[in-house]
Amino acid sequence: MQLKLEELHKVVKKVVKEEKAVDSFRNEISRALGPTVLVSHGLQLMAESANDRLDFLKHAGQSHGIVKTSTLLRFVGSESPEVRKLVARLLPENFLKSMMRDKDYGVRGAVAERLPHRLVAEMTERFPNDDQLKTIERSKRLTEAGLPDPESQEDIFDMYGEFPLGTTDVDAPGLNDQWYKTLAHKIVSLYGGNIEGQWEELSVKRYCDSLRSFKDEIDQQKLLDNVYEILDAKDDAALEESFKGLAQRLREEDEANINVMPVISEAVDPVETLLESGLSSSEYVKLFEELFEVQKGSVSNPGRKQGILESVARIVCPVSAKTPRQSIRSLDERAIDTYVKCWNTQRDIKNQPFKMSWSPDVDGVNFHVKAK
């Protein structure tokens, strides 16, 4: 009995010690990063909130307070990658060597961002498949050699807004479009599985409320628009997958019918089927691009001289397409006209001041994009 009591006493002392360490961590984070960090809902949420706050300060070019090293060292071995990432961003540089072998991709990136090129090169050798480490190592190597990174010299604007192809200047200092897009992805990842109605507006509002001291800098509507764009892209991807699955099943059924008995029927024209499908503009664009093998490329920003997206050197847009048959039929022309109309409609929805037209070519058609 005495042994059991002693063991219980040790467990209690351990729990009390851990609670004190967590309380100290909360107090230090709140003091160093400000009251907007959520510190009352567990270590995981606190770390996520604190990392978001650090991102904000970094984009805004602002500094933060110093957290006691002794407090941070207690959480170097935390089970949560988000907590370890936070520690890696706040620890003095000479304590980071112990975190160079972290198993988490995000933690390694946070460590590498703060270490000199020599140590980052060691990390790259240890983790040869970590592309993020390779990018950081290359950037630091060029910086230490006094050379510019060519990948950062020319900004490219993704016309479709699906993937970041470069960086752009913004009107509001500190909070650029990529910051909002990254935060929107995180909100969708955290709350996208919520079955309650209107979770998007509630989640965005709650997040912005948590950063209420910066209400003049954070555009709540812009953040909500980014969340909706991500959800729309997910819906479009799911719809496209369903179309592919249906097409595969139809092909399999046709093959089965051919093996059973001959079927005499008129050939179905896919272009005519597309025109009669009654799809939304985004759905039509996706299926047209697949049927006509639309090629996209990077072209000079046609609106740069007029002051449209001045910081963007190039844009990504459709440049050519092939017709299902060698010649361009009137049916194909109708399909192409509809595609151009739908594409332009999508640009209007996204407030992108570009308009597309088309012209025939030997191998199909060429597309031309100009500023409105």
Cα dihedral across residues 92, 109, 181, 199: positive or negative: negative
Whole-angstrom distance, CA of residue 41 vs CA of residue 34: 16
Give yes or no: residues 242 and 274 share one domain.
no
- 231 shares a domain with 298: no
In this prediction, residue 339 carries a pLDDT of 94
User: Do 229 and 206 belong together in one domain?
Assistant: yes
42 in a structural domain: yes
The pLDDT of residue 84 is 93
201 and 237 share one domain: yes
Tell me the CA distances in angstroms from 121 to 20, 155, 363, one per residue in order: 38, 27, 48
Backbone φ, ψ for residue 295 (5° rounding) = -100, 135
What is the pLDDT at residue 152?
47
Task: Supply the pLDDT for residue 20.
Answer: 83
- What 3-state DSSP class applies to 358? strand
Same domain, yes or no: 103 and 24: yes
Do residues 328 and 272 share a domain?
yes
Number of domains in the chain: 3
Clarify whether residues 220 and 270 are in a common domain.
no
Q: Which domain holds residue 69?
A: 14-115
pLDDT (0 to 100) of residue 86:
93
d(CA 225, CA 210): 19
* Together in a domain, 254 and 290: no
Residues 257 and 351 in one domain: no
Are both 232 and 284 inside the same structural domain? no
Is residue 335 within 8 Å of 271, Cβ to Cβ?
Answer: yes
Q: What is the mean pLDDT of each run of 10 residues along the chain (372 residues)?
A: 58 71 86 81 85 83 86 88 92 89 91 91 90 87 66 47 40 61 76 54 72 60 83 68 62 58 56 84 88 87 76 83 85 93 85 88 87 83
Do the domain assignments include residue 127? Answer: no
Angle, alpha carbons 158-162-165 (nearest 5°): 40
Q: Is residue 131 part of a domain?
A: no
